[in-house]
């Protein structure tokens, strides 16, 4: 019986429990539903919850605990010389045993017997059945595989019986509790409330998960590479060690990546902030209702376009355009038609990212500018100030804290942006100031370290988590500070 | 008894339009908010160096009329004004008239004190600065001091000119707003229920101030309180349902009004 | 009694002299400021159009594919020279089908069989995809061996590009991918009506292929569909449940505050961080398979939840308290009030928020790269546990290919993605319009 069939049967029991519970409630009421505390459906639901919930919990615990227990008991049976090997190679052996166990189930009884007598045949036998095994199995592995199979079978059987017993037992217990004065609705509602609480704690769990998982992996990294070399290193060169060679693991300096990230983010903000701010000012202070109702959603379309599309745009349109135009300019000036802007460059990535950020700046500042009370505007206009004087000298200074908050939020987006820089910024990690040359960012390196074959023990892979937690902390600080500023700003005018 | 002919009346009226003792003249002024009409052909004149009070129940159009006098209604998209309003004989709704210049000549004080979130000094110097009225820092200091003096606020704030204007009490804030309006040296000051958000003591101070300002400025004040109108104004106009019911000397208005509705309102029968 | 009020005895005062308040300069500044605003706004809008235009102009041709209709002889000599297909079905799978196609092309153009150089160039005109196309025909119906059938074969990517006019033919032929000879043949076939553009169904249904002309977003669409389904099934109930708790039940204490701040921050965490979370927790710790849309769905669910919670809370807040009071006053429990009255009224807002969250998730790329969805998957995934890819990831992979034909494919895939996003967003807008309530 598979897990899903088991779940189906449990659900069926709960369903029957629901019907039986409602029936009994109706029967007890004897036609006068007011003599019961709750409507019959609540009694039914009560029975159903008592049958399904404990059973599902048990099943969940079993699914997590059983493989771990079986795993450790199989490993406990490993021959001494295998136990002496490293954890990683023990893991490999266990993986192979699992493969053999899968294969054994596919073999017929006599083939299995033959394999046990002669392990060397096993690989061929299994290949004939379409099961591939990584290496030549050793003798102890076949026994372990058989053990594994029988333990799994026993565990499954036990699990099925236990889960079904709990389901039926829970239903029976709840059924017996049904009585006129029994407050089924309150019980059911408290279960619902509990599930609401569980749902909202998922937000907390996600944060905890992010921090815990990244911290764990990053600690593994810092065990191999000293933290100061990572945080203050100026060279990024994580050489993938050749097979067998463990000597050179390369250098993992964060500085060039961080500088690239900040530089590209800065260029992006250079485009996005003035444009977004002026667009917001125009839309909130000058534009007629009609113009506003058209331009505002259009501008927000820019925010709805996936970043991969911007990346592609940068790669195929903006980059080549800047490269060609730079070679034209250079040619006109000196006669030498060589380009001084690379197709992948800080400028390309920053410019396209700037376009992407325009709607963030404009819609955030629009909200903030419109929150400035009308009385202030009237006060200034009433003194004979022009509109632009009112905006420059009264509205903007009043809105400044909020706008700073909006800009910080946008900056955190710029720093965490991935797809545009992956496609348009280049991969060369270097420290330089020319915006026409490629630089790389933290996010680009996270992607490049984690695509391809992974090995969770090498610093080349683990460094991605150290980069990730750095990124997470920077953006978190920016966001918390920005949220704090904006919240204070809003309170001022409420 | 009345020896004047129709023609003579016409002539007298025409003369009035040009009479310089009338600072502002409104003729057949109507205001529409979209489809809704808020004012119906109001004819009201504002005399030089006089306090004119506009009274009437809420929603009667008195604030609307006030806001037409310096075109503050322009800031509301759906608002439309018809008729003629002149300032010193010039039609202020004429396209040749500049709204910024108009508002520099016809200042406004609002119902709720609305100091800018800046220092007291900057609040006062804002108007002179945008209009370029001060040639130097000392000039500006003088303007600020003189305006605050006139508004009777100088002694209270002279030691904290760099503190925020929003930190003052409600009454002080309103006098700050009046000082801010004076600093531009307007010819007319419009006040839209300037005391409605203030306590009695602050109200008394503002009323006293209005009284003193009268010698130099033409003032139009909208007020909800009949007592206030009686205390501060020389002329009173009564609005009801978007129409001007009666305009008269304040003394006469509160003792022996010509119109039954005015009498009822003053006696407190509605409003 | 005179109706004319006589003026009081104030002496006429001279007109106040006009002051110079620098109007000219100030109005110039006003106009400049306004012009900056218009310039900024139009800059943003212009780039929106440049971006869309650049994608559409590069990509609309991807929905047409050049095909060559030829009479292909399913010659037994080529497919199964030793006639052993009855005993060894493998023969049919490994036969040299491209030769068959090349011969058919040679026949159509009258090129001699022994001209090796020309034969080679001919072979390059057809896609490698013909191998599987013809093989599938034969395997499905071995009886066609020995007959001649009219088949429309895919032209090679370069020929496709040339036929669509995307290759500059004025460049010397050494520097371009199609020779003059091939262009000549191409034009000849086109005149004969054999070579023509057809609507490209392959781009919607094919899996990954190293050949641009044979590749499509089929696998990616299935992967994205699974992921959207998982996101919807998980994030809607969880998001709504969390919002109901926070909005209606949560006591105002520090823990609730913490959750609040948390959710706001999660909405702003860079998406790539969710990818790292997925990699560490779902793949490394829980041992779920890499490249599976199940893991992708989980990661995107976590990413979408904050958006949905924020939207749902706003929708719940918008339901006026009078409705709650009315229900509670009739003796409904708080839970009944919420589930019978508040939630149904808030539903349009919740669904709108959910659709917008889903649209965001659909376009998200970075976290999926980390959980191994950058995979060359040619087979259709049958369950969410199978390796698969996603539409934006497919775009990323194609964007990294150098060939001209892949640029076209990429833009085509982007158009498909954008169409989905437009449909979702328009749906959200319509939903809002249709059910919008004003209290």
* Nearest partner of A253 among A269, A237, A274, A268, judged by Cα: A237
Q: Give the count of domains, chain C.
A: 2
Q: How far is CA A149 from the centre of its chain?
A: 35
- C26 falls within a domain: no
Which residues lie closer than 8 Å to B18 by C-beta, 6 or more apart? B89
The whole-model pTM stands at 0.83
Over range B235-252, report the average pLDDT. 91
CA atoms within 13 A on the CB side of C170: 0
Which residues lie closer than 8 Å to C389 by C-beta, 6 or more apart? C208, C219, C220, C223, C291, C373, C374, C375, C377, C397
C279 and C362 both lie in a single domain: yes
Q: Closest to C2 (Cβ–Cβ): which among B2, B20, B104?
A: B2
Instruction: Give the per-residue pLDDT at C416.
Output: 94
CA distance C335 to chain A (A): 7
- A235 falls within a domain: no
Over range B187-197, report the average pLDDT. 90
Measured CA to CA, the distance from residue C228 to residue C382 in angstroms comes to: 15
CA distance B100 to chain A (A): 5
- A315 falls within a domain: yes
C149 and C297 both lie in a single domain: no
Residue with the bigger pLDDT between C116 and C264: it is: C264
Instruction: For residue C420, give the CATH number of its domain.
Output: 1.10.3720.10
pLDDT over 70, % of chain C: 95
Eight-class DSSP state of C126? B
Model confidence over C313-362: pLDDT tens digits? 999 998 888 888 888 888 888 888 999 889 998 998 899 999 999 999 99
Instruction: Give the per-residue pLDDT at A255.
Output: 92
- C136 falls within a domain: yes
A169 and A299 both lie in a single domain: no
DSSP labels, C221-247? HHHHHHHHHHHHHHHHHHHHHHHHIII
Q: At what angle do helices A442-450 and A255-281 cross, to 10 degrees?
A: 120
Is residue A338 within 8 Å of residue A324, measured between CB atoms? no
C266 and C318 both lie in a single domain: yes
Which residues in chain A touch residue C418, judged by CB atoms under 8 angstroms apart?
Answer: 305, 309
C392 and C290 both lie in a single domain: yes
Eight-class DSSP state of C21? -
Instruction: Give the per-residue pLDDT at C88.
Output: 74
C189 and C325 both lie in a single domain: no
DSSP labels, A292-331? HHHHHHHHHHHHHS-HHHHHHHIIIIIHHHHHHHHHHHHH
Please judge whether C40 and A451 are an interchain contact, meaning their C-beta atoms are less than 8 angstroms apart: no
Instruction: Give the per-residue pLDDT at A276.
Output: 95
CA distance B181 to chain A (A): 6
The size of the B-C interface in CB pairs under 8 A is: 56
Domain boundary among A182, A214, A229: A182
Domain boundary among A182, A207, A223: A182
Structure tokens at C385: 């546990």
Instruction: Give the per-residue pLDDT at A242.
Output: 46
Is residue C69 within 8 Å of residue C196, measured between CB atoms? yes
Is residue A90 within 8 Å of residue A83, measured between CB atoms? yes
* pLDDT category of residue B258 using cuts at 50, 70 and 90: confident
Q: Closest to A306 (Cβ–Cβ): which among C246, C281, C392?
A: C392
Q: C355-358, long-range: CB within 8 Å, 24+ apart, which pairs?
A: C355/C424, C355/C425, C355/C427, C355/C428, C355/C431, C356/C307, C356/C311, C356/C424, C356/C425, C356/C428, C357/C231, C357/C235, C357/C304, C357/C307, C357/C308, C357/C311, C358/C228, C358/C231, C358/C232, C358/C304, C358/C424
pLDDT in 10s for each residue of chain A, 494 residues: 678 888 899 999 999 989 988 888 888 877 665 677 778 888 888 889 988 888 999 998 988 888 888 888 888 877 877 777 776 677 777 777 877 777 777 777 777 777 777 766 777 776 666 666 666 677 777 788 888 888 888 888 999 999 999 999 988 888 888 887 788 888 888 999 999 999 988 888 899 999 999 899 899 889 888 888 889 888 888 876 544 444 446 788 899 999 999 999 999 999 999 999 999 999 999 998 889 889 988 998 899 999 999 999 999 999 999 999 999 998 888 888 888 888 889 999 999 999 999 999 999 999 899 889 989 999 999 998 999 999 999 999 999 999 999 999 999 999 999 999 999 988 888 888 888 999 999 999 999 888 866 666 778 888 899 999 999 999 999 999 998 888 888 777 76
Instruction: Give the per-residue pLDDT at C390.
Output: 92
Instruction: Give the per-residue pLDDT at C244.
Output: 94
Which residues in chain B touch residue C23, judged by CB atoms under 8 angstroms apart?
Answer: 98, 100-101
* pLDDT category of residue C78 using cuts at 50, 70 and 90: confident
User: Bridge-partner residues for C149, per DSSP?
Assistant: C72
- A171 falls within a domain: yes
- A217 falls within a domain: no
Q: Closest to C13 (Cβ–Cβ): which among B1, B16, B20?
A: B20
Is residue C119 within 8 Å of residue C366, measured between CB atoms? no
Above 70 in pLDDT, residue C16? no
Structure tokens at B25: 């003249």
Phi–psi pair at A181, nearest 5 degrees: -90, 5
Instruction: Give the per-residue pLDDT at A405.
Output: 92
Question: Which chains does B contact via 3+ CB–CB distances below 8 A?
Answer: A, C
| Three-state DSSP state, B36 | strand
A129 and A277 both lie in a single domain: no
Q: Quick one: closest CA in C to B134, which residue?
A: C21
Q: Give the count of domains, chain A.
A: 2
Measured CA to CA, the distance from residue B187 to residue B182 in angstroms comes to: 9
Over range B189-210, report the average pLDDT. 89
- A226 falls within a domain: no
The strand order across the sheet containing B90-91 reads B36-47, B22-33, B79-87, B90-91
C165 and C231 both lie in a single domain: no
Instruction: Give the per-residue pLDDT at A127.
Output: 67
C355 and C419 both lie in a single domain: yes
Give ∠ CA B159-B161-B166 in degrees, rounded to 5: 120
Question: Which chains does A contact via 3+ CB–CB distances below 8 A?
Answer: B, C
Residue listed under structure tokens 């809002």: C432
Model confidence over C377-399: pLDDT tens digits? 878 888 888 888 999 999 999 98
Phi–psi pair at B113, nearest 5 degrees: -55, 130
Which residues in chain B touch residue A383, judged by CB atoms under 8 angstroms apart?
Answer: 103-104, 107-108, 126-127, 130, 180-181, 184
Please judge whether B103 and A288 are an interchain contact, meaning their C-beta atoms are less than 8 angstroms apart: no
Pairing of strands B218-222, B51-55: parallel
Instruction: Give the per-residue pLDDT at B66.
Output: 93
Which residues in chain A touch residue C34, judged by CB atoms under 8 angstroms apart?
Answer: 282, 286, 387-388
Q: Closest to A381 (Cβ–Cβ): which among B72, B180, B181?
A: B72
DSSP labels, A205-253? HHHHHHHHHHHHHHHHHHHHS-HHHHHH---EE---PPTT--S---EE-
What domains appear along chain B, each with residue ranges and CATH number? 21-114+187-266 (3.40.50.300)
Instruction: Give the per-residue pLDDT at C49.
Output: 94
Please judge whether C8 and B101 are an interchain contact, meaning their C-beta atoms are less than 8 angstroms apart: no
Above 80 in pLDDT, residue B17? no
* pLDDT category of residue B12 using cuts at 50, 70 and 90: low
Which residues lie closer than 8 Å to A240 by C-beta, 6 or more apart? A250, A460
- C213 falls within a domain: no
Please judge whether B118 and A397 are an interchain contact, meaning their C-beta atoms are less than 8 angstroms apart: yes
- A189 falls within a domain: no
- C209 falls within a domain: no
Over range B220-249, report the average pLDDT. 91
A397 and A255 both lie in a single domain: yes
C250 and C353 both lie in a single domain: yes
Range of the domain at A345: 251-492
Range of the domain at C100: 65-198
Identify which of A404-413, B84-93, B164-173, C55-64 has the greatest average pLDDT. A404-413
Model confidence over B102-145: pLDDT tens digits? 998 999 999 889 999 889 999 999 999 888 888 899 999 999 99
Measured CA to CA, the distance from residue C132 to residue A360 in angstroms comes to: 48
Above 80 in pLDDT, residue C181? yes
Host H or E run for residue B45: strand B36-47
A351 and A440 both lie in a single domain: yes
Over range B26-51, report the average pLDDT. 91
C233 and C161 both lie in a single domain: no
DSSP labels, A337-375? ---SS-SSSHHHHHHHHHHHHHHHHHHHHHHHHHTS-HH
Model confidence over C244-260: pLDDT tens digits? 999 988 888 888 888 88
Over range C84-99, report the average pLDDT. 77
Domain boundary among C198, C226, C246: C198
Which residues in chain B touch residue C2, judged by CB atoms under 8 angstroms apart?
Answer: 2, 4
Above 80 in pLDDT, residue C231? yes
C311 and C408 both lie in a single domain: yes
């Amino acid at each position: 019986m598979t897990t899903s069939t088991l779940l189906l049967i449990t659900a069926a029991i709960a369903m029957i429990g629901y019907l039986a519970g409602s029936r009994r409630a109706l029967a007890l009421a004897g036609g006068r539903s007011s003599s019961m505390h709750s409507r019959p459906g609540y009694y039914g639901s009560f029975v159903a919850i008592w049958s399904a919930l404990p059973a599902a919990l048990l099943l969940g615990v079993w699914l997590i605990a059983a493989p771990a227990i079986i795993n450790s008991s199989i490993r406990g049976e490993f021959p001494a010389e295998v136990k002496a090997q490293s954890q990683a190679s023990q893991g490999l052996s266990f993986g192979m045993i699992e493969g053999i166990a899968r294969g054994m189930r596919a073999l017929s009884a006599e083939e299995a017997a033959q394999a046990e007598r002669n392990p060397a045949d096993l690989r061929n036998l299994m290949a004939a059945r379409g099961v591939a095994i990584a290496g030549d199995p050793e003798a102890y592995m076949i026994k372990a595989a058989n053990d594994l199979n029988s333990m799994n079978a026993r565990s499954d059987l036990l699990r099925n019986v236990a889960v079904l017993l709990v389901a039926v037992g829970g239903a029976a217990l709840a059924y017996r509790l049904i009585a006129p004065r029994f407050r089924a609705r309150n019980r059911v509602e408290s279960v619902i409330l509990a599930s609401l609480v569980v749902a909202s704690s998922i937000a907390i769990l996600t944060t905890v998960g992010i921090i815990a998982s990244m911290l764990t992996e990053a600690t593994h990294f810092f065990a191999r590479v000293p933290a100061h070399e990572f945080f203050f290193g100026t060279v990024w060169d994580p050489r993938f060690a050749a097979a067998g060679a463990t000597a050179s693991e390369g250098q993992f300096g964060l500085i060039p990546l961080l500088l690239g990230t900040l530089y590209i983010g800065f260029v992006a903000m250079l485009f996005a902030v003035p444009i977004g701010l002026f667009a917001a000012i125009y839309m909130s202070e000058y534009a007629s209702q009609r113009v506003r109702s058209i331009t505002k959603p259009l501008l927000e379309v820019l925010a709805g376009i996936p970043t991969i599309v911007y990346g592609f745009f940068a790669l195929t349109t903006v980059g080549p355009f800047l490269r060609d135009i730079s070679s034209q300019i250079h040619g006109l000036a000196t006669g030498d038609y060589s380009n001084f802007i690379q197709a992948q460059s800080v400028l390309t990535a920053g410019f396209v990212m700037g376009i992407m950020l325009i709607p963030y700046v404009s819609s955030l500042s629009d909200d903030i500018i419109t929150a400035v009370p009308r009385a202030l505007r009237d006060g200034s206009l009433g003194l004979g100030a022009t509109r632009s004087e009112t905006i420059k000298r009264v509205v903007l200074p009043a809105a400044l804290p909020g706008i700073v908050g909006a800009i910080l939020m946008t900056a955190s987006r710029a720093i965490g942006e991935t797809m545009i820089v992956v496609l348009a910024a280049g991969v060369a990690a270097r420290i330089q100031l020319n915006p026409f040359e490629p630089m790389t960012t933290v996010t680009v390196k996270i992607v490049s370290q984690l695509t391809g074959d992974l090995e969770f023990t090498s610093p080349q892979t683990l460094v991605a988590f150290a980069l990730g937690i750095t990124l997470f902390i920077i953006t978190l600080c920016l966001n918390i500070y920005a949220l704090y500023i904006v919240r204070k700003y809003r309170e001022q005018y409420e | 008894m009345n020896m004047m002919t129709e023609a003579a009346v016409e002539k007298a009226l025409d003369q009035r339009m040009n009479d310089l003792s009338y600072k502002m003249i409104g003729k057949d002024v109507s205001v529409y908010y979209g489809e809704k009409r808020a004012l119906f052909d109001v004819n009201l004149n504002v005399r030089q160096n006089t306090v004119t009070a506009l009274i009437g129940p809420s929603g009667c159009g008195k604030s609307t009329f006030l806001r037409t006098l310096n075109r503050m209604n322009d800031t509301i998209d759906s608002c439309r004004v018809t008729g003629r309003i002149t300032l010193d004989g010039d039609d202020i709704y004429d396209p040749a008239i500049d709204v910024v210049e108009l508002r520099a000549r016809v200042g406004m004080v609002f119902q709720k004190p609305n100091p800018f979130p800046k220092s007291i000094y900057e609040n006062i110097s804002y108007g002179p600065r945008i209009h370029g009225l001060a040639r130097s820092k000392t000039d500006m200091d003088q303007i600020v001091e003189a305006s605050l003096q006139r508004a009777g606020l100088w002694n209270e704030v002279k030691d904290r000119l760099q503190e925020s204007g929003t930190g003052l009490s409600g009454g002080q804030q309103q006098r700050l707003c009046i000082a801010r309006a004076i600093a531009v040296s307007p010819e007319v000051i419009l006040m839209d229920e300037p005391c409605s958000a203030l306590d009695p003591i602050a109200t008394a101070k503002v009323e006293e101030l209005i009284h003193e300002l009268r010698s130099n400025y033409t003032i139009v004040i909208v007020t909800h309180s009949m007592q206030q109108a009686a205390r501060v104004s020389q002329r009173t106009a009564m609005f009801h349902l978007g129409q001007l019911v009666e305009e008269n000397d304040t003394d006469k208005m509160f003792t022996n009004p010509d119109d039954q509705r005015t009498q009822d309102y003053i006696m407190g029968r509605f409003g | 009694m005179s109706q004319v009020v006589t003026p009081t005895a104030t002496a006429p005062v001279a007109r106040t002299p006009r002051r110079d308040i620098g109007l000219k300069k100030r109005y110039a500044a006003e106009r400049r400021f306004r012009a900056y605003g218009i310039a900024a706004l139009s800059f943003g809008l212009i780039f929106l159009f440049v971006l869309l235009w650049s994608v559409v102009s590069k990509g609309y041709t991807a929905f047409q594919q050049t095909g060559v209709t030829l009479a292909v002889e399913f010659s037994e000599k080529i497919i199964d020279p030793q006639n052993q297909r009855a005993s060894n079905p493998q023969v049919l799978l490994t036969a040299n089908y491209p030769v068959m196609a090349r011969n058919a092309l040679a026949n159509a153009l009258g090129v001699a069989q022994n001209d090796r150089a020309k034969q080679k160039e001919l072979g390059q005109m057809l896609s490698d995809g013909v191998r599987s196309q013809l093989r599938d025909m034969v395997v499905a119906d071995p009886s066609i061996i020995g007959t001649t059938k009219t088949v429309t074969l895919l032209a090679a990517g370069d020929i496709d590009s040339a036929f669509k006019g995307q290759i500059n033919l004025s460049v010397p032929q050494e520097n371009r991918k199609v020779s003059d000879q091939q262009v000549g043949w191409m034009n000849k076939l086109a005149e004969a009506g054999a070579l023509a553009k057809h609507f490209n169904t392959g781009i919607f249904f094919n899996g990954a292929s190293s050949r641009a002309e044979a590749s499509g977003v089929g696998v990616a669409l299935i992967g994205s569909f699974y992921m959207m389904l998982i996101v919807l099934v998980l994030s809607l109930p969880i998001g709504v449940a969390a919002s109901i708790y926070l909005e209606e039940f949560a006591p105002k204490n520090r823990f609730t505050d913490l959750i609040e701040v948390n959710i706001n921050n999660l909405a702003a965490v860079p998406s790539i961080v969710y990818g790292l979370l997925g990699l560490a927790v779902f793949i490394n710790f829980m041992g779920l398979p890499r490249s599976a849309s199940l893991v992708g769905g989980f990661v995107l669910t976590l990413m979408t939840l904050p958006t949905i919670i924020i939207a749902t809370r706003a929708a719940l807040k918008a339901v006026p308290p009078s409705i709650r009071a009315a229900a509670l006053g009739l003796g409904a429990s708080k839970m009944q009030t919420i589930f019978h009255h508040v939630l149904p009224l808030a539903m349009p807002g919740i669904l709108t928020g959910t659709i917008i969250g889903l649209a965001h998730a659909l376009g998200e790329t970075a976290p999926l790269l980390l959980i191994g969805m950058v995979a060359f998957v040619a087979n259709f995934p049958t369950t969410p546990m199978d390796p698969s890819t996603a539409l934006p990831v497919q775009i990323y992979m194609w964007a990294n290919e150098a060939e001209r034909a892949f640029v076209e494919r990429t833009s085509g895939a982007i158009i498909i993605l954008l169409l989905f996003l437009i449909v979702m967003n328009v749906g959200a807008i319509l939903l809002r319009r249709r059910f919008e309530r004003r209290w």
